[in-house]
């Protein structure tokens, strides 16, 4: 297990949401204040505001990729194409290993529990959630990608 993977997993156990865990693990590379990165990623927990859509760790992975490999000019079609290819590659890697990129599918709660109220972080909560493992998968995949393709 890599240091970034450990950091991401431990961040979840501290109470951060899945997206924030990825941001925490890679914050030193982002060029923005860690607290700003945590606030930026805070809406993506629970599959985007607890709507159980795209897994927060996947969203966090994409935010990091945008910061490291993204474009900022509206007419940069080549940059957009390259970034979208990276996003699709990472999503495919994650889906192959985790089984899905959708929060409710990963949690096995299709059609259930879509309240805006977050669950209390108890020992029972951590025992029944696969999130720590899913966060670890995202952190490892992202770190592997960055090592294979160092940002400029």
The pLDDT assigned to 115 comes to 81
Which pLDDT belongs to residue 84? 98
Q: pTM for this structure? A: 0.94
Below-70 pLDDT ranges, the chain: 113-114
Angle at the Cα of 126 (from 145 to 56), degrees rounded to 5? Answer: 40
With left for phi above 0 and alpha for psi between -120 and 50, is residue 46 left, alpha or beta? left
Count of the separate structural domains present in the chain: 1
Which three-class secondary structure string do you get for 25-87? Answer: HHHHHCCCCHHHHHHHHHHHCCCCCCCCCECHHHHHHHHHHHHHHCCCCCCCHHHHHHHHHHH
Expressed as residue numbers, the domain containing 19 is 3-148
pLDDT in tens, 73-110: 999 999 999 999 999 999 999 999 999 999 999 999 87
pLDDT at 118 (0 to 100): 87
């Amino acid at each position: 297990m890599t240091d970034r993977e450990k950091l991401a997993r431990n961040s979840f156990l501290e109470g951060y949401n899945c997206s924030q865990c990825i941001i925490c693990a890679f914050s030193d590379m982002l060029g923005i204040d860690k607290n700003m990165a945590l606030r930026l990623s805070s809406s993506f927990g629970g599959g985007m505001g607890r709507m159980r859509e795209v897994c927060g760790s996947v969203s966090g992975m994409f935010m990091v990729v945008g910061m490291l490999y993204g474009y900022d000019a509206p007419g940069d079609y080549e940059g957009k194409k390259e970034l979208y290819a990276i996003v699709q590659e990472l999503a495919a890697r994650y889906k192959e290993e985790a089984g899905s990129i959708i929060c409710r599918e990963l949690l096995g709660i299709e059609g259930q529990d879509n309240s805006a109220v977050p669950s209390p972080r108890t020992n029972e909560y951590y025992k029944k959630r696969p999130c720590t493992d899913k966060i670890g998968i995202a952190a490892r995949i992202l770190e592997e990608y960055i090592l294979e393709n160092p940002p400029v």
